[in-house]
Amino acid sequence: MAKFLVKNSGPLKGEVYISGSKNAVLPIMAATLLCEEKCEITDAPRLRDVDVMCNMLRRIGAEVIEDYDGNRLYIGTKVISDKEAPYALVSKMRASVLVMGPILARTGRVRMPLPGGCAIGARPIDLHLKGFAALGARIEEGKGYVEAVADKLQGCNLYLDFPSVGATENIIMAAVLAEGTSVIENVAQEPEIVDLANFLNKMGAKIKGAGTDTIKIEGVKKLNAVCHSVIPDRIETGTFMVAAAITRGNILLRNALPDHVKPIIAKLKECGVEIYDTFDGLIVNAENAKLVATDIKTLPYPGFPTDMQSIFMAFLTTIDGESNVHETVFENRFMHVAELERMGADIVTEDRRAIIKGGKPLKGTSVFATDLRAGAAMVLAGFVAEGETEVSEIYHIERGYERFIDKLKALGGSIERVEEKVKEV
């Protein structure tokens, strides 16, 4: 197993280029199953999760060509040869569930091993299934799998119990080829939903309202292959914004979309970080800043993103004073608290709330990446901690950050990837 060795690095300075969005490219890759010809996806990030999705699509019958040097993917599916996603791949990545909607829409039947939970929560798919049922599918649950069957999906009216990102994406992909019109309310409004809807509308779908709480879809008979450029990754953007803040550095983020990170900009400014939106990109300057503590509460978009909670908490541990963090989206997304405490942070948690008494110096030690974003948080904490920090379980991080080490090194970060020696027993 590999790990990161991170040393105290002083202020990170320079510029970084934001890659394409992991959480936009994955549903768009799944949506290519809705047409036979090959789609071209550009600005696709080179990530473990993208590799897993490529293999998933190949198992289903897609032809997938990866031009990683050009950050391009070419994906076409003449025939969906397997209507069941393989458990081995589903268990690796929850986003595998996103192939359900397209397979159901195209073939009338799909079987999915239940994806199971992960470190941050049970992560059920009841809302996905509720959407398929509303579109006329029969849902059968078996031992460890679920099946949806429909001769022909029919447009429906549905009010989602929770604005689930994945459920919104799956229901959109199932409804675009249904007979008639669907109106789905209380949907997720994330930029990744808008990017998926833009991709599908280019293909010939008729989707209105993406980015608002109500989406209207008029079913069409066929979709055609298109070329689409993926939006920049707003969570990678937030990660590098906090990298500047936590190290009291100064970073220019090229290819960042300020509109997609408004809550992060607002919170960093509340803390006293200077942020400028310039022609060249977003400048985040925390040099000589007199920083003050603040509170964050995670919410579905356009609220403060849950994916930024652990990363922002690492930053809050370096600011004198008391900060409060309230995680409302996932039921178990404080696994990083114990790791930050090992570094000397003073954090008290109760249920989904955490109180951070910031300002105590962090000390390097060995810690775990407990999920993708918590791993990034530990790396950033390592840049400001005394001495050296060993971050293990870094496969989480490599799932979702393209060329993470290269980008951090270019900013002056002291970070190396080493293979963990397996001790003989």
Interacting residue ranges for ligand EPZ, rule: CB under 6 A: 22-23, 26, 94-95, 121-128, 162, 164-167, 306-307, 329-330, 372-373, 400
35 is known as an active-site residue: no
CB of 166 to ligand EPZ, least distance (A): 3
Report how far residue 47's alpha carbon sits from residue 53's, in angstroms, rounded to the nearest whole number: 10
Report how far residue 320's alpha carbon sits from residue 356's, in angstroms, rounded to the nearest whole number: 10
The answer to whether 88 and 55 have CB atoms below 8 angstroms apart is: no
Q: Decide whether 77 or 370 has the Cβ nearer to ligand EPZ.
A: 370
Report how far residue 137's alpha carbon sits from residue 140's, in angstroms, rounded to the nearest whole number: 10
Set 39, 118, 227, 271: catalytic member: 118
Q: Decide whether 121 or 387 has the Cβ nearer to ligand EPZ.
A: 121
The answer to whether 51 and 95 have CB atoms below 8 angstroms apart is: no
- Which helix (H) or strand (E) segment holds residue 200: the answer is helix 191-203
For residue 295, the SS3 value is coil
Q: Decide whether 308 or 340 has the Cβ nearer to ligand EPZ.
A: 308
CB of 275 to ligand EPZ, least distance (A): 23
* Identity of the amino acid at 10: G
CB of 169 to ligand EPZ, least distance (A): 7
CB of 186 to ligand EPZ, least distance (A): 12
Q: What is the 3-state secondary structure (H, E, C) of 140-188?
A: EEECCEEEEECCCCECCEEECCCCCHHHHHHHHHHHCCCECEEEEECCC
* Identity of the amino acid at 186: N
CB of 332 to ligand EPZ, least distance (A): 9
CB of 153 to ligand EPZ, least distance (A): 18
Listing DSSP states for 201-253 in one string gives HHHT-EEE-BTBSEEEEE--S-----EEEPPB-HHHHHHHHHHHHHTT-EEEE
The answer to whether 184 and 145 have CB atoms below 8 angstroms apart is: no
Q: Decide whether 9 or 170 has the Cβ nearer to ligand EPZ.
A: 170
| Residue closest to ligand EPZ, measured at CB | 166
Q: Decide whether 40 or 307 has the Cβ nearer to ligand EPZ.
A: 307
Q: Decide whether 124 or 204 has the Cβ nearer to ligand EPZ.
A: 124
Catalytically active residues are 118
